[in-house]
Amino acid sequence: SRMLLLVLLALLGPAGCPKTEPLSESSQEPLFRGADRYDFAIIVPAGTVECFWQFAHQSGSFFFSYEVQRATGIANNRNILATARDPKGIQLGASQHMRGQIDFLTEETGFYQLCLDNQQNHFGFMQVYLNFGVYYEGFNTEQKQPEESKELNSTLEAIEVSIQKLQLHIFHMWRFYNFARMRKGADSFLLESNYNYVNWWSMAQSCVIVLSGVLQLYFLKRLFSVQPPGRQRC
């Protein structure tokens, strides 16, 4: 009966919402927190909501960027609703455009929820490129013990500060690189769509021109055709 109950709970649970790590605290092993940042593309089917959970410590800077690279359907609307919520379920930001960015400071440690809502589009899917995560400016230096700081000389402290600034600059360059990847992917799909549209429309126009020419020639030929005289009877 216990196995049957677990199967029922699994079937009744929310579908289509992958998590970056488990929420169970019963195990004695430390939880796998996953990476601090992710970038990937995902297909959001028509009329569905896709959600993700990202773990973040307190006093961090959370970023969430997205770009709709491709959309299908009748209206071909590329706007999608993106929302971000804190571990208590309070909404921290929302964006309903073809591309957007939500940034906020993490005031508590826990799992932050990111969702993409495609429920307004009932006839087509959307391919969305995501870039989200959290970074901590000076996080390691705040956790350092005072006695450890006293043991370091000024030269090592200066080198450490320079390395931290360099890492932060590299991180922001990585974000700008992902913005360029988002825009490049969207432009590539748009260019391919326009190319196919022009080819099909040109082919259709060519067929119409040829067909109209054939019809005109046929009617002109019938207009100037002379009926042969009938045979005279003696």
Look up tokens 């029922």; give the residue: 8
Q: What is the pTM of this model?
A: 0.59
Q: What confidence score (pLDDT) does residue 170 get? A: 79
Per residue in 72-122, pLDDT tens? 877 677 889 999 999 999 999 999 998 899 999 999 999 999 999 998 888
More confident residue, 90 or 32: 90
Find the angle CA(184)-CA(65)-CA(165) to the nearest 5 degrees. 95
Dihedral (C-alpha) 160, 163, 169, 174: value to the nearest 10 degrees? Answer: -130
Q: What confidence score (pLDDT) does residue 147 get? A: 52
pLDDT band at residue 199 under the 50/70/90 scheme: confident
Q: Are 94 and 80 in contact (CB under 8 A)?
A: no
Q: What confidence score (pLDDT) does residue 138 get? A: 61
**pLDDT surpassing 50 at residue 21:** no
Q: What confidence score (pLDDT) does residue 120 get? A: 85
Find the angle CA(104)-CA(110)-CA(115) to the nearest 5 degrees. 60
**Within 10 Å of residue 107's Cβ, how many Cβ atoms?**
13
Per residue in 58-75, pLDDT tens? 888 999 999 898 888 776
Sequence-distant (6+) residues with CB within 8 A of 29 are none
Average pLDDT, the chain: 76
More confident residue, 86 or 222: 86
CA distance 45 to 126: 7
pLDDT > 90 fraction of the chain, expressed in percent and rounded: 24
Q: Is 65 exposed, middle or buried (0-12, 13-18, 19+ CB in 10 A)?
A: buried
Q: What confidence score (pLDDT) does residue 33 get? A: 58
Length of the chain: 234
Look up tokens 């997205």; give the residue: 66
